[in-house]
Structure 1
Amino acid sequence: MSTTEAPPKPTPSELEMLRLLWQLGPATARQVHEAATATRPDMGYANVLRLLQVMHAKGLLARDESARAHIYAPAQPQDSLQTSLIKELIHKAFAGSGKELVLAALRGGHVSKKEREEIQELLKREE
């Protein structure tokens, strides 16, 4: 992937694997599978392994092949990928307005009272 090329957009299942790897740190397919079954007991090891391999081929994951059990890690930091996905969402769903995205989240009940307080503190610090 070149530096000017946008990173590939993960599918919902791939995003779930990325969230697990951001929490775990670099991990084997078995470790990712164990973490995944905590919330999705129906997820089979072969499915996790196949998904990790596809994600590596797409450039979403880096893979260390120096040991028998390959170690997978996100190719991008969490905040970098989230920023890219947010930019795309703002452009597509909110006509490029970050304010509209924030207002929709606040109106839609997607922000807890504690999160609102944290946002208010952040805004105060920015002033």
Structure 2
Amino acid sequence: MDLKPTESELEILQIIWKKGECSVRDVHDELAKTKDSGYTTTLKLMQIMHDKGLLARNTDAKTHIYSALMSREQAQQGALDKILSTVFKGSTADLVIQALGQHRASKDEIDAIKNFLDEFEGRK
């Protein structure tokens, strides 16, 4: 799947990943907690996302129910690939150094990174 959701589409996907299947009203009510957005804007965005293949729409009931066709992992991988190639010119080391240098990682996160690196070294 080579879809690249926009920032607004990612906000909608985050809600659907968290809640599962949602109506437009469900998504709009959640978005309204943090931003000023009209219901019709949310509806239009979700229709576009359906047309793009980011959302499935069940039309069996009066209220249409949407579900994500893209997993959180697929979205993360796509965003990471884009950032890695455009911002860091393909340098994984620069990306990791920047991420760890700018954001305080917890001990558990550092341990998980070390374990991953140990496993990665063992696969070579």
TM range, smaller chain: 0.7 to 0.9
Q: What are the superposed Cα offsets for residues 11-30 of structure 1, whole Å, 9 maximum, x if unpaired?
A: 11111111111111111001
Q: What are the superposed Cα offsets for residues 21-72 of structure 1, whole Å, 9 maximum, x if unpaired?
A: 11111110011111112222x2221111111111111111111111111111
RMSD, matched Cα: 1.9
Equivalences for 1:3-22 in 2 at 5 Å?
Answer: 6-7=2-3, 9-22=4-17
Unaligned runs of 5+ in 2: none
Unaligned runs of 5+ in 1: none
Equivalences for 1:10-49 in 2 at 5 Å?
Answer: 10-40=5-35, 42-49=36-43
Q: 1:119 to 1:38 in 2, by over 3 A?
A: farther
How many residues end up aligned between the 2 structures? 120
Whole-angstrom CA distance in 1 between matches of 2:28 and 2:115: 38
The two structures have a TM-score, normalised by structure 2, of 0.83
- If asked which structure has higher relative contact order (CA below 8 Å, sep 6+), I would say 2
Q: What are the superposed Cα offsets for residues 51-103 of structure 1, whole Å, 9 maximum, x if unpaired?
A: 11111111111111111111111111110121122112111111212221111
Whole-angstrom CA distance in 1 between matches of 2:79 and 2:65: 25
56, 75, 78: which one aligns with 2:72: 78
Seq. identity, %: 37
Runs of 4+ in 1 over 2 A off after TM superposition: 111-127
Shift of 1:117: 4.4
**1:113 aligned partner:** 106
**1:67 aligned partner:** 61
